[in-house]
Amino acid sequence: MLQSIRDKSQGWITNTVIGLLIIIFALWGIHGYVVFHESGNNKIVAKIAGQLLRQSDFEKIYQRAYQQNRDYLNQSFSHDKKKVEALKEQVVREWEITQVLVYAALQSKYRISQTLIDSFLLQVPAFQSAGQFSIEKFYSVLRANDYTKLEFLEEIKKMLLINQVQQGITQSAFVLPQDIRNYIEYNHQKRDFSYLIVPYSMFLNQQNIPDSRIFAYYQENKQLFRQPEQVSIEYVQLSLKNEKNFLESRDKLAHLTYVHPDSLAIAANTLGLKIRSTPFFGKTGGQQGLSKNPKIITAAFSRDVLQGNNSAVIDLNTNTAVVLRIKKYNSEHRQLFNEVKEKIKKILNKQYAITKAQQFGENLLRDPHKIEMSSMEKISQKLKWHFMKQIDRQDKKLNKELLDAVFRLLPPGKNVPDSFWMKGFRLKNGDYALIKLITVYNQQNLPLTRAVSASYRKEIANGFGQLDYALYTQCVLKKFKLTS
């Protein structure tokens, strides 16, 4: 829905704000993704710029951050204390930065009027019906995203305020003619270089790993071999295009599943819905269908549902609602050693191979003569230098890690140490790479049309503006003591 708003939006207000609106929904405002159990001990987690972050609010923000990044977090994340603490620290820091930037904006007399917010809302296509703002659609969209009007408007106002400062700084940046010439020379530079890859696969299965070492790894990394709790759910899904009919049926669904909390059958029979089910999935979600939806995941693992009750009505969008309950439940448990023995053996074998590949590459790097001779039989026919001629920064064929590294090297010269034009480093896939720079070609006096020159001017000014804003942010944050 938010991407659709961005694609169709017009006008300076919408274009300025819409990116922030997406951030709000995606990261900071998806209320209801997690069920929270507040207690009387709602302690203060952080305090800055006159604002308090209480435990209950922190838990909401943390769970949203977790859900937002769950595709990048493996199954064992929740058992890795270091990773959990790192994410918690990141959440607190981002909250603190937001409060400080809002405070700084207010201190600098920046203000956001209700008229500006209203003007923005009137232009959002998702809130319109037949080209006009619809209060029904507005509340329908907010309900689908579990937002109250006040919460939504407060977040919009806060992010608009920060953005107003950013726009003021970035749009005031200017560019001189020499800046354009330097940028063109830098951006269009080409380089000759050679590179060699030492694949870690060359060193696989060269070590006999005893069972005692495998078991020791198993004992030392218990969190990696825990099978997290999983659920299989059954659910009914209500989907109607007619808004009036949908709202009436939704109310019936909510009533029937509430007064009959231990079954979906009565609601399904009354409304003519089919009871469906999903495969098992954990708190990080499943691979397909509803099990990937953060709202579904949160509801499935809520205390009330785990105790055998139906969930509350879950609005997936403006005309689709779901009620679910647990079908089957698997508790968290540690996998047996024999179940993961071969997996651990592969892990240790790969670690050994990656280390050996790096050692091999570093030995080559320390001896320039070996580097020159490495493509010959003395090393291995599997290893050879690849010569690349006049490669630019935008090359799409070469590994980006290699490309970035080669454009950070200095050209060889009499007073340039070898380490400035030759480099060895481990690639993300575990292989080891060696690169050496040969020649640099600076592109001078390139013919430029007025349109191209204007495009470069805009791009450079934007870069300068972003740098100015980053420096402003750094300066503002220095005045406050952040938690981490």
Report yes or no: 231 and 329 within 8 Å, Cβ to Cβ: yes
Tokens of 331: 């508790």
Tokens of 57: 């609010």
What is the predicted pLDDT for the residue at 234? 97
Q: In this predicted model, what pLDDT tens digit does every residue of 273-300 receive, in sequence order?
A: 999 999 999 988 888 889 988 899 989 9
| Mean pLDDT lowest among 231-235, 262-266, 415-419 | 415-419
pLDDT bin (cut points 50, 70, 90) of residue 408 is: very high
Q: In this predicted model, what pLDDT tens digit does every residue of 327-347 receive, in sequence order?
A: 999 999 999 999 999 999 999
For every residue of 52-75, DSSP letters joined together read: EEEHHHHHHHHHHHHHHTGGGS-T
Task: Give residue 399's identity as a one-letter amino acid code.
Answer: N
CA distances from 394 to 57, 93, 184 (A): 44, 35, 13
What is the predicted pLDDT for the residue at 305? 95
What is the predicted pLDDT for the residue at 368? 54
What is the predicted pLDDT for the residue at 13? 39
Q: Is the pLDDT of residue 73 over 80?
A: no
Give the pLDDT mean for 142-160. 79
What is the predicted pLDDT for the residue at 409? 93
Q: Is the pLDDT of residue 40 over 80?
A: no
**Element counts in the chain: helices (H) and strands (E):** 18, 14
| Mean pLDDT lowest among 125-129, 415-419, 459-463, 476-480 | 415-419
Q: Is the pLDDT of residue 374 over 80?
A: no
**H helix runs in 287-375, sequence order:** 294-300, 303-306, 337-366, 368-373
Q: Is the pLDDT of residue 16 over 50?
A: no
Q: In this predicted model, what pLDDT tens digit does every residue of 196-246 receive, in sequence order?
A: 999 999 999 888 899 999 999 999 998 889 888 999 999 999 998 888 889
pLDDT bin (cut points 50, 70, 90) of residue 129 is: confident
What is the predicted pLDDT for the residue at 289? 87
Q: In this predicted model, what pLDDT tens digit does every residue of 447-459 receive, in sequence order?
A: 778 888 888 889 8
What is the predicted pLDDT for the residue at 146? 60
pLDDT bin (cut points 50, 70, 90) of residue 24 is: very low
Q: Is the pLDDT of residue 1 over 70?
A: no
Give the pLDDT mean for 361-375. 68
Q: Is the pLDDT of residue 36 over 50?
A: no
- Count Cα atoms within 13 angstroms, Cβ side, for 158: 18
What is the predicted pLDDT for the residue at 67? 64
CA distances from 424 to 106, 191, 360, 411, 427 (A): 49, 18, 11, 16, 10
- The top-scoring range by mean pLDDT among 25-29, 306-310, 409-413 is 306-310
Q: pTM for this one?
A: 0.59
Residue 53 φ/ψ, nearest 5 degrees: -110, 105
Q: Is the pLDDT of residue 20 over 80?
A: no
Calpha distance 469→104 (Å, rounded): 13
pLDDT bin (cut points 50, 70, 90) of residue 77 is: low
| Mean pLDDT lowest among 24-28, 352-356, 471-475 | 24-28
Closest to 317 in 3D by CA, of 251, 394, 243, 218: 243
| Mean pLDDT lowest among 65-79, 111-125, 322-336, 415-429 | 65-79
pLDDT bin (cut points 50, 70, 90) of residue 481 is: confident
Tokens of 312: 């509350």
Give the angle subtended at the CA of 465 by the CAs of 462 and 471, to the nearest 5°. 145
Q: What percent of the chain has pLDDT over 90?
A: 46
Q: Is the pLDDT of residue 190 over 90?
A: yes
Q: What is the mean pLDDT of the chain?
A: 83
CA distances from 409 to 112, 361, 372, 398 (A): 47, 18, 19, 16
Give the pLDDT mean for 83-106. 89
